[in-house]
Structure 1
Amino acid sequence: MEEQKITKIPFGKLGIIVHESCRDLGKKVDDYIVKRRKEEFAKNCSEYHVEELKDSYIIDSEIIRFANGEAKGHLKETIRGKDIFVLADIGNYSVTYNMFGRENGMSPDDHFQDVKRLISAIAGKARRIHLIMPLLYESRQDKRNSRESLDCAIALQELENMGVENIFTFDAHETRVQNAIPQTGFESLHSTYQIIKAINKVEDKICFDKEQLMVISPDTGAMDRAIFYASILGLDVGLFYKRRDYKKIVDGKNPIIQHEYMGADVEGKDILIVDDMIASGGSIFDIAAELKSKNARNVYVAVTFTFFTNGIEKMNEFYQKGYIKKLFSTNLTYIPDKFKQAEWFQEVDMSKMVSLLIDTVNYDDSVSPLLDATNKIKKILDK
């Protein structure tokens, strides 16, 4: 990742509000910003820059929860005139709260309400408000197929009405949802560069050669992502098509009958399956088993978000059987320790990129270099 050079005055003094759901990532992001600014500001001795040197840019804040489950956001220091970045992980199911003496796990709905509470506590005193929500709230309900709610669009409009000027997310399920807020900044960033960098560093046996490696899309929705990976790496691409039973609805969706493969022969090749997320993992397991039955050599999986909503027992089984060799996933949403400790899991750290994003926006520079990682990936391949 190319470093952002700090050469001018920022739009406003930086303040980062980190929700409890994002404490670990927020701390890493803050550390990167502090280090970078101290190194860069040492070359610039203007009075403003010296004043802006801090040991932390995190605003002291909290969510106060009442015994009946209601809550309020509280900022413990001034944010007047500051350029505020709110950082939250709506997918962190490890956060709990007490209600009527019972311990409840925080759902995405609970986290989103907390985000709005923190924005409400700003009360118009900040110079600008930006929201970094790596896992976009209700991103899986981004379009209407029948008489359904359109939750993601409504949530974005709520944030716009509260004064949020820019919303940043990663690998949005459907980027066209930004049409709901045409006057508000919306950017969906990607983790492609960091994932390829991690693969290249960790799996030295992988050869980025089309005769030895192939990219697979698990469904039609992930095809654009697979094509990008294949194009930038100079590889062939294949596709699995999901045949569904449209006569039934199970857990809110039509069950998959079979995965049909379309593409070149995979025999003797390493396979890289790419997608935005793993929910239950069912599709990945079916596809990995099908690829091994076609005599694929090693199967790797690269995603931005990993949930395994039904647990990781089957993933452990598939690893032991040799069906899946390694899973690469970012730390943009909560990762339990049992995932991190598994031999098949490789965490891809995105904190440096998020810190560069904050610095870039705070100094009113273009985020285009962060959106397009083509040149950086080519440098990895050249080496």
Structure 2
Amino acid sequence: MTKEEKSKLPYGDLAIIALKSCAEIAKPIDEKLSNTRDESSHLISVEEVRFSNGEGKVVINESIRGKDVYILCDVGNYGCTYKMFGFENHYSPDDHLQDIKRALSAIAGKARRITLIMPLLYASRQHRRKGRESLDCALALQEFERLGVKDIITFDAHDPTIQNAIPLISFENLHPTYKIIKALVTEENLLDIKPENMVVISPDTGAMDRALYYSSNLGVDTGLFYKRRDHSKVVDGKNPIVQHDYLGRDVEGCNVLIVDDMIASGQSVFDICNELKARGAKKIFVAVTFALFTSGPDKFEEYYKKGLLDRVYATNLSYVPDHIKEAEWFRTVDMAGFTANVIDTLNHDESISPLLDSTGLIRRLLNKNRSES
């Protein structure tokens, strides 16, 4: 057997445990893998059982001995429900975390390797200590390591330095930038992406690196909104925003792309849209990895109808209700193919480094788009 033939051998038989929070995206991921490899389904039959008092267990109905196991879980999927004492309860991130641990416990050391794919990193906004407070994300990562996880895959982590909590296992922080830009260029075919006609906006200082990456690949300028907060008050666990101060070039007559890792309630987006429109911005687009809509979609609908917001682009890596997906102002960025490619590459024990840098792909996409327009 040649060295090239050996490199094409999988690390182990591929097995995907898709917890019900990821059932929707798991199907196209499995289909793409099966078509690429000319194999049958890799999904393992799993039951997530809830007892009437709220306790639960995970049952794996197939042998996974010696297999290369990939666990998929969306800790942000509040669409999953269970009955407890007769009440309908929606899953919280803590409920999903427990099911991940139950799945790892059910594997019981039989797998050859375990990779946890958690697109929305659990407790990613509780990643560092500023006082007498918990370190939820770090503790969860360390517990995964103790339970046998060898690789953790996440997307657009709020602060990727959290991987320092688990220095002895692999932690990969992936980005959907290429897929988002491709969706934007495809959907908005009349969008004029030129330095004089478009600006990328960072909603705060923490998202500036992301905005710079987008702007450098699109070949346009970057602007920043600085959040001035009232540090004498705490509302819903954080200091309320007093004002957004803008730093950057004039946006009058320009299309604007606001980029961030997630939308929670969307209040920052609404404030920035108001500020941009007051400065004469033309069209306003928002691109995020995770759209949580913690306060519902009504205000987004209102801003769209008023012409203050043109479109929101978000991936399908985390749960979005169907009625939002069907809204005219919302577009889904499909990440199933990319995730399948990551799984296939890792299963063959090859480096995913080529998948981490999408600069070349983005530039080829934009050059093609400009030549056709």
Shorter-chain TM range is: over 0.9
Name the structure 2 match of 1:253: 238
Q: What is the aligned partner in structure 1 of residue 18 from structure 2?
A: 18
Work out the CA distance in 2 between the residues paired with 1:67 and 1:339: 31
> Distance between the aligned counterparts of 1:28 and 1:166, measured in 2?
22
Letter in 2 for 1:373: S
Summarize deviations over 1:300-323 as a string: whole Å, max 9, x none.
000000011111111111001111
* Letter of the 1:134 counterpart: P
SS of the residue 2:99 aligns to: helix
**2: CA distance between counterparts of 1:349 and 1:6?**
32
- Aligned to 1:183, which of 148, 162, 168? 168
Aligned to 1:319: 304
Partners of 1:171 and 1:65 in 2: CA distance: 31
* Structure-2 residue corresponding to 1:380: 365
Cα shift at 1:7? 6.5
Equivalent pair of 1:6/1:37 in contact (CA under 8 Å): no
The alignment status of 1:359 with 2:344, answered yes or no, reads yes
Distance 2:57 2:265 in 1: 33
Indicate conservation of the 8 Å contact 1:13/1:83, yes or no: yes
* Correspondence for 1:243: 228
Residue 197 of structure 1: aligned partner: 182
After TM superposition, the structure 1 = structure 2 runs for residues 97-176 of structure 1, keeping only pairs within 5 Å, are 97-176=82-161
For residue 244 of structure 2, what is the amino acid of its counterpart? H
Equivalent runs, 1:216-227 vs 2, <5 Å: 216-227=201-212
**Count of residues in correspondence between the two structures:** 364
Residue 83 in 1 paired to residue 68 in 2?
yes
CA distance in 1, matches of 2:366, 2:89: 47
Secondary structure at 1:328 match in 2: strand
Query: What is the TM-score of this pair, normalised by structure 2?
Result: 0.96
The residue type equivalent to 1:238 in the other structure is G
Q: What do residues 51-101 of structure 1 show as CA deviations (whole Å, max 9, x unaligned)? A: xx32x0000011111111111110001000000000000000010111111
Which residue is 1:369 aligned to?
Answer: 354
- Corresponding residue for 1:211? 196
> 3-state DSSP class of the match of 2:270?
helix
CA distance in 2, matches of 1:329, 1:101: 35
Secondary structure of the structure 1 residue equivalent to 2:214:
helix
Query: In structure 2, do the counterparts of structure 1 residues 37 and 372 end up closer, same or farther at CA, with 3 Å as the change threshold?
Result: same
The TM-score with structure 1 as length reference comes to 0.94
In the alignment, does 2:77 pair up with 1:92?
Answer: yes
State the distance in 2 between where 1:302 and 1:121 align. 38
Residues 116-173 of structure 1, C-alpha deviation per residue, up to 9 Å, x if partnerless?
Answer: 1001100000000000000000001011111110100000000000010000000000
Separation in structure 2 between the aligned mates of residue 208 and residue 143 of structure 1, nearest angstrom: 38
Alpha-carbon offset, residue 278 of structure 1: 0.3
CA–CA separation in structure 2 for the residues paired with 1:132 and 1:59: 15
- In the other structure, the counterpart of 1:45 is none
**In the alignment, residue 36 of structure 2 is paired with which amino acid?**
R
Equivalent residue in structure 2 for 1:349, among 315, 325, 334: 334
1:68 to 53, 58, 69: 53
Give the match for residue 276 of structure 1: 261
Equivalent-residue separation in structure 1 for 2:359 and 2:7 (angstroms):
25
Letter aligned with residue 328 of structure 1? Y
SS in 2 for 1:168: strand
Distance 2:324 2:130 in 1: 35
Tell me how far apart the structure 2 counterparts of residues 208 and 366 of structure 1 sit (CA, whole Å): 33
Q: Distance in 1 between matches of 2:232 and 2:293?
A: 26
Q: Does 1:33 align with 2:18?
A: no
d(CA) in 1 for partners of 2:288, 2:190 = 20
Query: Partners in 1 of 2:32 and 2:339 — Cα distance?
Result: 9
| CA distance in structure 2 between the partners assigned to 1:207 and 1:379 by the alignment | 17
The residue type equivalent to 1:23 in the other structure is: A
Deviation at 1:6, TM superposition (A): 11
Cα distance change, pair 11–242 in 1 and its aligned pair in 2 (3 A): same
Give the unaligned 5+ runs of structure 2. Answer: 369-373
Distance 1:103 1:202 in 2: 38
Partner SS for 2:63? coil
**Which deviates further from its counterpart, 140-149 or 265-274?**
140-149
Q: 2 CA distance for matches of 1:164 and 1:85?
A: 10
Q: C-alpha separation between the residues in 2 aligned to 1:324 and 1:29? A: 32
Match of 1:187, SS? Answer: strand
Q: Within 2, Cα distance between the matches of 1:308 and 1:330?
A: 13
Q: Following TM superposition, by how much is the alpha carbon of 1:207 offset from its aligned partner in structure 2, in angstroms? A: 1.6
